[in-house]
Structure 1
Amino acid sequence: MPLPNQIEHAEFSKEQRVASHVRLVNGDNKCSGRVEVVHDNQWGTVCDAGWDLKDAAVVCKHMGCGTPIAAATGAFFGQGSGPVWLDDVRCSGNESAVTNCSSKALGKSTCSHEQDAGVVCRAQVVRLVNGSRSCSGRVEVLHDGQWGTVCDDDWSLSVAELVCRELDCGDAIEAKSDAYFGEGSGQIWMDEINCVGNESSLVDCGIAGWGIHDCDHYEDAGVTSPVRLNGSDSCSGRVEVLHDGQWGTVCSDYWDSTDAAVVCKEVGCPTGAEVTRNSYGPGVGQIWMDNVQCTGTEISLKDCTFNGWGINNCYHSYDAGVICRGRIDTVFYLVNLYLTTQVTD
């Protein structure tokens, strides 16, 4: 097999990305298995050359399966059949699908099915509830098959940021306390959380023990994120960002679908984005961002290139908006559709 530095990489075309779907096969649950993609109505596999946790993370996120536990190699989940569609995949970790990652040209693989790649993902064990959008709300964790809340004792911005990273929601702006998003019910699972900073999930942080606390639900913890959509639902509206403690808008100069997709991803919505201008009425206050230019790999809109905070030549009649939609021709094929008790909602 050629060495990595001898391989010519190529990005999928837009047509290839739209035509490609993903499934996990032969795993113990819907969040583990051999990775397969379909092209031209034919399922094929992924070669394990260079296959690592960054690549697995993209698959796990795409399948709604949280974070990766392992990037399986050597046909760990059995050998597939048909073409080996992808070889020498190199994901940055921010792509929305494995077919958006850099790789050898589609179908140009030197691998056999003995090298089929797979993933083992940890299904979502943290969620946000009762927020006005999907990336803000009361923090709840799944333990022993039951969702419960988190006490706000020692709840900090750094822990809130871990939650937002885990949920692919960009940066946290506030660690909310005192049941800001309403009181939960049932168990209070976590109290006095101690994170060291390298955890991939809130549930990896130190606690006295599951369900051990001296709290009531009026102390439930929550988080909010720095971008919101002011519209008819949580996945469409005028784009607003929080800076220096004040919400403001984004000018639609150079505003395009790549910029909008970053917003959709940040607020936890489908990333098939449609851009709008003043479709949701003019905002008020500051116009914080102008001439935004995103590459599409950013975690947050504020990570994109722009003029500088508050530097603009716009009026609110040019306020940018987005409509976040899943592509109607995107299908996720999930096999072995059963969950263990630990990951059952």
Structure 2
Amino acid sequence: MDPTNPNKLIAAMWEHKREPWFFNSGGSGSGLHITYNGGETWKKVTEEDGFPKGHLGRIGVAIAANKPNTVYALVEAKKNALYKSEDSGFKWEKINDKEDIGNRPFYYSEIYVDPQNENRVYSVFTYVNVSEDGGKNFTQLMPAYGANNGVHPDHHAWWIHPKNGNFMIDGNDGGLNITKDGGKTWRFIGNLPVAQFYHIAVDNDIPYNVYGGMQDNGSWKGPAYVWRAQGIRNSYWQEISFGDGFDVVPDPTNARFGWSMSQQGNVRYYDAETGNNFSVRPTHPNPDVLLRFNWNAAINIDPFDSNTLYFGSQFVHKSTDKGLTWKLISDDLTTNNPEKQKQSESGGLTIDATGAENHCTFSY
């Protein structure tokens, strides 16, 4: 909505189909529509107005609050690009189609404008890039994986103070961060319960510990309770491995050790005391056979023998030495449908296989 004219609305429509094994972004249903009379009539932006030809995918839109005739659109198309209008959306010009405008449109495609500076534009994606020249060029505001400022990657929400462009709030896969100096330094808000746990487990210690794997935030171990007036503090939790955390299986005979999981069938044997961990991911005897692992692959420990593990791909794998070696104890037990194993073609207008599209796998 135009902040100075509530009758001017811009709506981005997105045609997107997702199957468990495939997704397609883009189609005839995608497009940018504008009304100047509060929704009584709408006009679709087309190639005649400066938009790209052919099917479009996801579109991010932003209006400059201090100069509402200036509108930006981050458009997924055959060639992804940033478009700009300086006449309230009647005519558009492609101003940037370089990689610095962002990646993975189906997952991000977010664009924001400083409310007091129509030329300062933020593209919010795996990282955050900023332009000071109206989108023609971008530089990285947040280094890769927070190397220098501790901010988690994968950004999905962004807020700029309407009267102070240096005051911004960032929402990402790691939580919420605030800056008041234009992004030079960030403060992480650590008391918001926004983590997404896939699984939880407990060990046999007294008092016992709780384990869990979190979406894009690793696998963690923490005390179930403590004899301290302040209760359980954030600092009492220990990250035991990295990645999209799923199951954690503590060794029932010695909770110092255990197994943690992440995407693509990765399973690691960890030592919680030293912080060390290493991969014990199963392989197939035939190197030409590609193992298919569910996004959160199935793992379990033998209730009668803590040395024995079971792990699922399209096969059942068994280890009797804590995961150091594995053997197959089944044939392919899935449908092995080749039509549901085309992850390398997934994405639609922009090829993108997240790893969650693996199919013909064990889920439990």
TM-score, normalised by the number of residues in structure 1: 0.25
More helix by share: 1
More strand by share: 2
